[in-house]
Chains A and B, each alone.
Chain A
Amino acid sequence: KQEVTQIPAALSVPEGENLVLNCSFTDSAIYNLQWFRQDPGKGLTSLLLIQSSQREQTSGRLNASLDKSSGRSTLYIAASQPGDSATYLCAVRDNYGQNFVFGPGTRLSVLP
């Protein structure tokens, strides 16, 4: 059974810092991995999706990498801003069907 973990559970940084969020999964037979952000009490906003054949994806100040063999993905946020404060979730889609498994999330606070 696929399990997804995220480290750290919470992170607080001053504005302007670069930071890395980590996501690990136990079964490397994934189809893709998707990073989301969630603001309190709201739905999820898709940030980046990495196919299993890809190594990284970039969007603006965000860069996500994938190392499928080791079961890891990282989300790099450059020059963090207070507006980046949210919970960041990763989710993996398996090869066998339509099942998506989410991690517990990392709660990020960027202080002005």
Chain B
Amino acid sequence: ETGVTQTPRHLVMGMTNKKSLKCEQHLGHNAMYWYKQSAKKPLELMFVYSLEERVENNSVPSRFSPECPNSSHLFLHLHTLQPEDSALYLCASSQARTSPYEQYFGPGTRLTVT
């Protein structure tokens, strides 16, 4: 596979479930990002990992827990979510220390919390 892949593409979960979103990049990048896209709101940056170290955490509730085991994989662990967490979750990657830091996005996971 090429580019940035995300699984699953669609997820429906109850408020008491625990699930994980997975992102994998095949571009040789070393920075990875999680974004949330809600209806009628701009994309919100949630987390940034650069060289496998978390460098940004933009006031995201603790019910979202990221994990970056290596530079090619990124996970978002979900637990005790709320209905307002329903959104499209997008993963992206870029180079961390080499300009121009162009971002490449995956297709997203459409999450519905019931």
Contact = CB atoms under 8 A, between A and B. Distances in A.
Given A43-B90, A44-B90, A103-B42, A98 B104 contact: no
Contact of A104 (B42, B90, B102, B105): B42
B32 to A, nearest CB: 10
Interface residues of B, number: 28
Main secondary structure of the interface of A (DSSP, over half): strand
* Residue in B41, B42, B48, B106 with the greatest tally of chain A CB atoms within 10 Å: B42
A interface bracket (residues with beta carbon within 8 Å of B)? 20 to 34
Interface stretch (A11-19, A45-53, A60-68, A77-85): A45-53
B43 A49 contact: no
Contacts of A42: 107-108
Interface string A7-45: 000000000000000000000000110101000011111
A112 interface: no
Contacts of B31: 98
B56 A4 contact: no
A101 interface: yes
A89 interface: yes
A89 B43 contact: yes
Contact of A4 (B42, B58, B102, B108): B42
Contact of A98 (B4, B6, B56): B56
Contacts of B45: 99-102
B99 interface: yes
B100 A51 contact: yes
B48 A98 contact: yes
Contacts of B73: none
A46 to B, nearest CB: 6
A101 B48 CA distance: 13
A96 to B, nearest CB: 11
A4 B6 CA distance: 27
7 contacts: A43-B90, A44-B103, A89-B43, A98-B50, A102-B43, A104-B42, A105-B42
What 10 pairs across the A-B complex have the smallest Cβ distances?
A102-B43, A44-B105, A43-B105, A43-B107, A98-B48, A104-B42, A102-B42, A49-B102, A43-B108, A43-B106
